[in-house]
Amino acid sequence: MHRTLTHLASSLALAAVLTSPAAAQDMKAALLDDFDRMRGNVMMMIEAMPEAGLRTAPTESVRDFAQQIEHVVGGNVSIVGSGLDRPASGLGDPEVYLNSKAELTAYANRGFDQVREMISSWTAADVRAEKSLFGQATVEQWELAQAAYEHGVWTLGATVPYVRAQGGAPAGYNLIPGGN
């Protein structure tokens, strides 16, 4: 009961703080920093993977490395944009970007640019606007972006053994806000 009341009080305090335009700008800045750091981490992971390993997977019936990167980036674009995890359109031809490090890097940059543009365009009211997440919950827009970020981190982390299995050495993950 005490934890529930503490959580409720914390949630109400956060909601009150986020109602100000300055707080909305701070939230946008924090989200933009998160996705900029993720971009850097994705780029380091792509760089660490040998070109010949792009289409390899640790086992059958799972995404290969390039598809994992596609899922991180496409998930960010589609979740931030719509609250759904679906293929992102307009970022390129999968037959091209899934088979080339240079093209996979370009695809990732296009996706992260699109996420940055979406978040940057939000007004203070947009930050707090209610959205559907996977059709299962109603959350505020900033929470939708946080869900996309968490999904991306989770998915990117799964690529570490892919890179190591191909003889690559993944760089350390940048967890430091403002340290992109």
Q: How far apart are CA 110 and CA 74, in angstroms?
A: 10
Contact 12, 116 (CB under 8 A): no
Query: Residue 91's pLDDT is what?
Result: 93
Q: pLDDT-based confidence at 6, cuts 50/70/90?
A: low
Query: Residue 22's pLDDT is what?
Result: 76
User: What's the distance, CA 102 to chain centroid?
Assistant: 20
Q: Exposure pattern of 65-74 as b/e (b: 16+ CB <10 Å)?
A: bbbbbbbbbb
Express each pLDDT in 43-81 by its tens digit.
999 999 999 999 999 999 999 999 999 999 999 999 999
Map residue 127 onto helix, strand or coil.
helix
Express each pLDDT in 71-99 by its tens digit.
999 999 999 998 776 777 889 999 999 99
Topology of the domain comprising 20-165: Four Helix Bundle (Hemerythrin (Met), subunit A) (1.20.120)
Q: What are phi and psi of 139, to 5 degrees?
A: -135, 165
